[in-house]
Amino acid sequence: MRTAPLIALAALCLAWPAAAEDRWARHRGDCDEVLRGWQGQALPELVRCVKRYEMYRKTSAIDDDERARMHTVLDKVYAEGSRGEKAIALGSMKRLGVRPRSIGSDERGLRRAGTDLPVLGAAAGIGADATDAAEPRPGEGPVDHLGVDPNAAAEVFAERPPDRREATAQYSRGVKLYRGNQIEPALGAFLAAGDADPTWAKPLYLAAVCYARMGQAVDAVGTLKQMKSINSDLARKLIRRAAEDKEFARLRSQPSFKALTGAAVVQILNGAGPKGADDVRGFVETLEKKGIPVARVGTDANSRVSTYLYAKPGMETQGERIRRVLRLGLVHERKITWPTPYDVILVYGKPKKGKWVDDEAEKSAKKAAKDRAKAKADAKRKEEEAAAAAREKSKADFENFKKFQEMQANPQGQLPDAPSGPDDLMPPP
């Protein structure tokens, strides 16, 4: 097998996460300054930088101080922004593992009333004297002037009863935005739908798709993991679909994505020469139609008269599915024991008449032939036993017939006279 393309692909896979890390440095523009000095910024400027922040900032690069500051900025956008801006702010807060702390003008919007979180933000004195801001209000617990809720975590979004009506409205809005290629606001809407009904898998799946389109692999996998934890029939079905979805093509080489979805990175090598080229092209088309992407197609250095299917430990099921989809019949199955980015490697060979390789496939064929021979011998033995039984029956029938004739010849049933002495036993002269 050729190693140079494999090395190049491995280098690309290693370089991609590193390249994604500095996306914020390349695309932030003046947003660091805008977000740090948020108190003096107009709402449109904050919204502009929040959108950019959501699209390019990696969650893994955010420290506690930055999370606290962004929590406050996002809470302001959530409280004062439009419905679409609320969705973006909520989605970004959910990614940071925090939740809204103030209610905007739209009571039917993304925030639900009735939570027991303290009201922070401008109403709590943020931007005023830190000492005053830190004083607790009558009837409330202590307020953190940095805007950090010590109880805030991702799981708080699952505490409210599911609201499928609100979730459906946000989901429909997200689909419309997504179809209009407005990925960032669509992401916010899908996350809002997932917040409204944490038992619904569809919004989280599409949120993961949005993260993947934005190049945020960690958040995409994290959202899929959250969806999988729902443990519904739909969630399990969508996890299987994610393994084959082209939207996650760039994630298939990531160990976390493969461990979550069971996705396999597939390579096909042609070992049958020019005669096998058309077959290999057909294999690729068939697998793509079934949602199984092929990462690379190449030519094997050796000429093959049999087909070999290599799979890494734990990827045997994926290899078996490929064999069934391509209807390959008997193949030689092997384990991948060398370093490679591929999880399943199909080496195609074209059999020649009268030639076969001694391997598992041949052993299987020999066993089938042996079973057929045994079955034939058993059938012949039974046939011979049946013929012998028929002959014995015919012989017995003939003896009975002879006895019947003798009885017919002597109808009175008289027996011949018994001999009276030795002379009677002598034959006549």
Q: Are residues 187 and 334 in the same domain?
A: no
Say whether both 198 and 54 belong to one domain.
yes
Task: Indicate whether 87 and 214 sit together in one domain.
Answer: yes
Say if residue 157 is in the same domain as residue 19: yes
* CA within 13 Å, CB half, 198: 14
Give the CA angle between residues 196, 99, 217 to the nearest 5°. 80
Residue 210: pLDDT band by 50, 70, 90 thresholds?
very high
β-strand pairing of 332-335 with 308-311? parallel
Residue 416 covered by a domain: no
Q: Is the pLDDT of residue 283 over 90?
A: yes
Average pLDDT of the chain, as a whole number: 75
Q: Which domain holds residue 176?
A: 13-258
Euclidean distance between CA atoms 221 and 171, whole angstroms: 20
What token pair was written down for 328?
A: 């390959």
Q: How confident is the model at residue 188 (pLDDT cuts 50, 70, 90)?
A: confident
Decide which of 219, 238, 258 is a domain's last residue.
258
Verify that 191 and 303 share a domain, yes or no.
Answer: no
pLDDT at 72: 87
Contact 207, 240 (CB under 8 A): no
Q: Indicate if 31 and 70 belong to the same structural domain.
A: yes
**154 found inside a domain:** yes
The pLDDT of residue 9 is above 90: no
Q: Assess whether pLDDT exceeds 50 at residue 377.
A: yes
- Counting Cα atoms < 13 Å in the Cβ hemisphere of 257 gives 25
Contacts of 96 (CB under 8 A, 6+ apart): 59, 62, 67, 70, 71, 74
Is the pLDDT at 117 greater than 80? The verdict is no
| Cα torsion 247, 251, 252, 258: sign | negative
Asked whether residue 144 falls in the same domain as residue 200, the answer is: yes
Written as six digits, the tokens of 108 are 């039917």
Alpha-carbon distance of 118 to 374, in angstroms, equals 82
- The pLDDT score that the predictor gives to residue 352 is 67
Rounded CA-CA distance 378/375 in Å is 5
Q: Are 133 and 123 in contact (CB under 8 A)?
A: no
The larger pLDDT score, comparing residue 140 to residue 283, is at 283
Mean pLDDT on 90-102? 76
Measured distance CA(176)–CA(353) in Å, rounded: 58
Provide CB contacts within 8 A for 199, sequence distance 6+.
162, 230, 232
Residues 171 and 312 in one domain: no
102 or 194, higher pLDDT: 194
**178 in any annotated domain:** yes
Q: What is the pLDDT of residues 215-269, one digit of tens each?
A: 888 889 989 998 988 888 898 889 888 888 888 888 877 888 888 887 778 899 9
294 touches 318 (CB < 8 A): no
So what's the pLDDT on residue 363?
63
Residues 268, 183 share a domain:
no
**Distance, CA of 252 to CA of 264 (rounded, Å):** 7
Same domain, 337 and 389: no
Is the pLDDT reported for residue 140 higher than 90?
no
CATH number for 333: 3.30.70.2390
Please report which confidence band the pLDDT of residue 163 belongs to, taking 50, 70 and 90 as the band edges.
Answer: confident
Q: Dig out the tokens for 209 from the structure.
A: 């798709």
Pick the closest to residue 233 from 199, 259, 263 (CA basis). 199
Q: Is residue 31 part of a domain?
A: yes
pLDDT band of 357, cuts 50, 70, 90:
low
Residue 35, domain member (yes or no)? yes
| Short-list 287, 230, 289, 222, CA closest to 251 | 222
Out of 210, 226, 258, a domain closes at 258
- 3-class secondary structure for the chain? CCCHHHHHHHHHHHHHHHHHHCHHHHHCCCHHHHHHCHHHCCHHHHHHHHHHHHHHCCHHHCCHHHHHHHHHHHHHHHHHCCHHHHHHHHHHHHHHCCCCCCCCCCCCCCCCCCCCCCCCHHHHCCCCCHHHHCCCCCCCCCCCCCCCCCCCCHHHHHCCCCCHHHHHHHHHHHHHHHHCCCHHHHHHHHHHHHHHCCCCHHHHHHHHHHHHHCCCHHHHHHHHHHHHCCCCHHHHHHHHHHCCCHHHHHHCCCHHHHHHHCCCCEEEEECCCHHHHHHHHHHHHHHHHCCCCCCEEEECCCCCCCCEEEECCCCHHHHHHHHHHHCCCCCEEEECCCCCCCCEEEEECCCCCCCCCCCHHHHHHHHHHHHHHHHHHHHHHHHHHHHHHHHHHHHHHHHHHHHHHHHHHCCCCCCCCCCCCHHHHCCCC
Q: How many domains does the chain have?
A: 3
Percent of the chain whose pLDDT exceeds 90: 14
Decide if 409 is inside a domain: no
The mean per-residue pLDDT over the stretch 84-107 comes to 70
The answer as to whether 414 is a domain residue is no
Cβ(90)–Cβ(81) below 8 Å: no
pLDDT (tens digit per residue) in 304-328: 888 999 998 888 888 888 999 899 8
Q: Domain ends where: 258, 292, 325?
A: 258
Q: Which of 86-100, 280-294, 382-396 has the lowest mean pLDDT?
A: 86-100
Could you tell me if 181 and 329 lie in one domain?
Answer: no
Please say if the pLDDT value at position 153 is more than 50: no
In a domain, 420, yes or no: no
* Burial of 262: CB neighbours in 10 Å, binned 0-12, 13-18, 19+: middle
Do 182 and 310 share a domain, yes or no?
A: no
Top pLDDT among 138 and 226 is at 226
Residue 360 scores a pLDDT above 80: no
Rounded Cα distance between 400 and 391, Å, is 14
Give the mean model confidence (pLDDT) for residues 64-93.
84
